Amino acid sequence: MLTEDGKHLYVSYDEYHNLCEKLAIKVHQSGWEFDTILCLARGGMRPGDILSRIFDKPLAIMSTSSYRAEAGTVQGHLDIAHYITTPKGEIAGRVLLVDDLADSGHTLHKVVEMLRTKYPKITELRSAVLWTKGLSTFTPDYSVEFLPTNPWIHQPFESYDSMRPEKLLEKWKV
């Protein structure tokens, strides 16, 4: 649900899963065949996992991090892992790069640049996200929703960002 001022988008679990399914449909309808899904952790892990299951393709993971300050709302220095975890040994062939959103576009630009430079066995690379913000300098190959007002997206699992074991003990009275 987008707030009236367009500054916040609140997403339920059902809406989130529907977006993942719509992303799968877009990729499928394009007719593009790929060998591996590479998701960017953490945001791309959930959509990557769902797409991996739907397309029955191996899931590779690359860890990135850029949201650090003020409970993750202020973008800081971008960290990109030096290694990709993949069940196929080395990432190669046609790769679908999956993340949750193209926000500023900085992360996706840097990751694509790194993949093209350091992984010559990738023969074709396409990208897929749930959301693309209007301010993004990166245009994904596949995207479900375009957000021209650049809202802060409140994803359904973000409550765990402030959930600690003590709170769970209290909640479940264990």
CATH code: domain of residue 61: 3.40.50.2020
Domain-located, residue 139: yes
| pLDDT given at position 5 | 84
pLDDT of the residue at 77: 73
Tell me, yes or no, whether 120 lies in a domain: yes
Residue with tokens 């367009």: 6
Q: Is 57 helix (H, G, I), strand (E, B) or coil?
A: coil
Residue 153 lies in a domain: no
Q: Are 7 and 151 in contact (CB under 8 A)?
A: yes
Residue from 40, 44, 39, 47 nearest 16 by CA:
47
What is the pLDDT, as a whole number, of residue 76?
A: 59
Q: Which domain holds residue 121?
A: 12-147
Task: Tell me the CA distances in angstroms from 131 to 37, 82, 116, one per residue in order.
Answer: 18, 26, 23
Q: 99: which residues sit within 8 A by CB, 6+ positions away?
A: 39, 40, 43, 44, 47, 107, 108, 127, 128, 129
Q: Which DSSP string do the residues of 18-56 spell out, in sequence order?
A: HHHHHHHHHHHHHT---SEEEEEETTTHHHHHHHHHHHT
Residue 24 lies in a domain: yes
Please report whether residue 103 resides in a domain: yes
pLDDT in tens, 48-73: 999 999 999 999 999 988 754 554 44
- CB-based contact 124:95 (threshold 8 Å): yes
Any idea which residue has 């952790």 for tokens?
Answer: 41
Please state, in angstroms and rounded to a whole number, the distance separating the CA atoms of residues 141 and 127: 5
Q: What is the pLDDT along the chain (174 residues), one digit of tens a residue?
A: 878 888 999 999 999 999 999 999 999 999 999 999 999 999 999 999 999 999 999 999 999 887 545 544 455 578 888 889 998 788 999 999 999 999 999 999 999 999 999 999 999 999 999 999 999 999 999 999 999 999 999 999 999 989 999 999 999 987
Domain count within the chain: 1
In a domain, 130, yes or no: yes
Domain membership of residue 106 (yes or no) is: yes
Neighbouring CB atoms inside 10 A of 96's CB total 26
Task: Tell whether pTM > 0.85.
Answer: yes
Is position 170 within any domain?
no
Distance between CA atoms of 143 and 128, rounded to whole angstroms? 6
Q: What is the pLDDT of residue 87?
A: 85
